[in-house]
Each structure stands twice: as structure tokens, then as C-alpha cells.
Amino acid sequence: MSEIHRPVRTRFAPSPTGYLHIGSMRTVLFNWLFARHHGGQFILRIEDTDRKRYVPGAEEQVVQSIRMIGLDIDEGPEIGGPYGPYRQSERLDIYHKLAAELEAQGYLYRCYCSPERLEQVNRERQARKEPPGYDRLCRRLSPEERAACEADGRAYVLRLAVPLEGETTVPDLIRGDITIRNSTLNDLVMIKSDGYPTYHFAAIVDDHLMQISHVLRGDEWIATAPYHILLYKFFGWEMPVWVHLPQVLGPDGKKLSKRHGDTAINEYLEKGYLPEAIVNFLALIGWSYDETTELMTREELIRALYAGAYQSGQRGLLDR
Ligand code: GLU
């Protein structure tokens, strides 16, 4: 475990798009255990910037499920806290201000391409057997061309001007360094034409402003983590420690979904499973403390985060 030199603050940042999935609840548990192990804070942040996928009532259900399995939240939308608001849709001004700063430094640029043009670009790429992506047309616009687009009042998105050369390394607590070539990256959208930020931009801004020290999230985010590292570099901010947790898979090796049975945490609660049993089950998916222990209390789990006791054959929840 690398040394911790700032107060431990972890967060769970769900998008309110439906019920809380078992896999997400495991992420909640790890964040909570990590914060409690280190005497830190556990924060809930609602990532509701994708207006098309927003489901009314989902936020309440998430909070209720977390509470029902007995995990307490230190800061969040209804509790408040020193770094609020904790709902991203209420933080648009913050994203706009910071995006403008990056744009002024040339790290973000305006892209006026229409959805039709982007589709066409992707069709052509597909025909050449290239992965989908943007061809950076607007990154190369001359000042006159740009001014003409502005004068026309063309809608635009803000894209990340990723370095065209070099490499980006994601230091991960569990996996070590993951390095990729920048030439394989895309100029991803950071601010959409509706003025809402994408996950990538909002999450990084918020993790920084909310002083998150450790980001524990599903490993489906490893692929886009290089963009997050670049944002930290461009802003000149100190990065959190990255911990990408393996996803919960079904017996067929595929991501756990409805066809494997119940996946919503409230379905288990409604069927009468005790919160203690659910916590125990979530902790022991993909991990065992030793050869024999099958029941652990929350307090035991908090202690068992890192066993540091290999000599007796025990393994901490975050030891790999
Ligand atoms: N809103 C993202 C999701 O629901 C959060 C990912 C993260 O923890 O950074 O998957």
C-alpha cells in the first residue's frame, strides 16, 4: 500500500439510471470499508449529467439501498457537506468555468461537426477497418474558419486536445502501471452541446474539488482512465490514488446481468436476506480472507482490508 499523505476521502458516484446493481453495491462497500479503515470520509455523489438516461426516483432508491445494508454516508446530496452541491446537475457553473480555463490554454477546443458528419467519419473509418473516432477536423480549423462558425451561431461541443505523441500512464494500486500510447487516444467530448459535461470531465473536476484521495471504481473505467490522467495533468492537479476493482461476473465469465438471476440489491432485501448476509456475500465475491473464514462482520471486514499477514495465510480485501 502506497503511503497516504492526505485525509482519506472516498466516493461512490452512481448515475441515477435505475436500481442499484450488486456489482455497484460491491463498489460502495469497498469505498465505505476503505474510508472506515482509515478513519476517513465516505461521500455520495450523484452523476446525473446524462439527461437521456435519467430515471426519476433512482437517486432515492440508491440512498435507501445503501442505508438498508447498514452503510452510512458522511457527505451527499441530502446530508450536505463542505464540498457540495453533491448532484452534478447543480454544478454546471463550476464545469463551465473550469472548461473555459482549459479552453483558453488550448487543452480543449470547440468542435462544430454535426452528428451526421461524425457518423459519416465513422462509416469511413469502419470501411478502412479502423476503430471509431473523431478525425480532428475542428482541431485544425484556421482562426477565420472558427470565426465563421461562431458568426453562424453553430452549436459546438468542447473536445479534449489529447497529445498526439508520447504515452500516458495510469498508476493503479492493484494492477501497477498501465501505459498506453497517446496516438491510440481520441479527442473525447468533455462538454456536450446541451452544456452538460460528460462523465470524464465532471468526475475529474468533482473528485478534485471534493478532495477525493482514493478513487475505487469498476475496472470498466480503465480504458478511459488515460483521459482522466491527462485532465489532471492539464489542470495541474494532484491525482488521487486509482483503484480499479474487478467487476462481478456471472458463471459464464460475462458481466453479471439479469439473465444470471437477481441483480438489484433491493430484490435481495425484499426477499428477506439480512443486511449482514448481503455485506458478507459482497465482500466474499472474488476474495477470501483465509482458507476457512466464511462469515465476517462489518468490523472484521474493516480490519481485513489489508491483511499484511501473509505469514499466516491471510489475504486483505485489497491485497492482490
Ligand atoms: N457515474 C459513473 C457510473 O455510474 C461512476 C464511475 C466512477 O465511480 O467514477 O459508472
Predicted pLDDT at 263: 82
Sheet holding 167-172, edge to edge: 176-181, 167-172, 241-245, 214-218
Q: Whole-prediction pTM value?
A: 0.92
The CATH number that applies at residue 68 is: 3.40.50.620
Q: Which residues line ligand 1 (CB under 6 A)?
A: 13-15, 47, 199, 203, 217, 221
217 Cα nearest atom in ligand 1: 8
Regarding whether 221 and 243 lie in a shared domain, the answer is: yes
pLDDT mean for each 10 residues of the chain (320 residues): 81 93 92 94 96 90 93 96 98 98 98 97 95 96 97 98 98 94 97 96 98 95 97 98 88 78 85 93 81 86 66 61
DSSP 10: E
146/74 Cα distance (integer angstroms): 46
Regarding whether 280 and 238 lie in a shared domain, the answer is: yes
The CATH number that applies at residue 164 is: 3.90.800.10
47 Cα nearest atom in ligand 1: 1
Predicted pLDDT at 137: 98
97/237 Cα distance (integer angstroms): 16
Q: Whose CA is nearest to atom 2 of ligand 1?
A: 14
157/102 Cα distance (integer angstroms): 14
Predicted pLDDT at 310: 38
Question: In which residue are the cell numbers 452503510 written?
Answer: 71
- Look at the chain and report how many structural domains it folds into: 2
> 309 lies in a domain?
no
Q: How far is the CA of 203 from the centre of ligand 1 (A)?
A: 8
Q: Whose CA is nearest to atom 10 of ligand 1?
A: 14
Predicted pLDDT at 286: 72
> 1 lies in a domain?
no
Cα atoms in the Cβ-side hemisphere of radius 13 Å centred on 198: 16
The amino acid sitting at 268 is: Y
Torsion region of 155: left, alpha or beta (phi above 0 gives left; psi -120 to 50 gives alpha): beta
203 Cα nearest atom in ligand 1: 9
For residue 258, indicate whether it is catalytic.
yes
93 class by beta-carbon count within 10 Å (0-12 exposed, 13-18 middle, 19+ buried): exposed
Regarding whether 16 and 160 lie in a shared domain, the answer is: no
Q: Which domain holds residue 269?
A: 9-87+200-287
162 in Cβ contact with 230 (< 8 Å):
yes
82/209 Cα distance (integer angstroms): 10
Q: Which residue among 199, 204, 224, 243 is best mutated to probe the pocket of ligand 1, counting the most ligand atoms within 8 A of its Cβ?
A: 199
Predicted pLDDT at 320: 56
Regarding whether 260 and 125 lie in a shared domain, the answer is: no
Regarding whether 212 and 70 lie in a shared domain, the answer is: yes
Regarding whether 124 and 265 lie in a shared domain, the answer is: no
40 in Cβ contact with 7 (< 8 Å):
yes
Runs of H (alpha helix) within 152-236: 199-209, 225-235
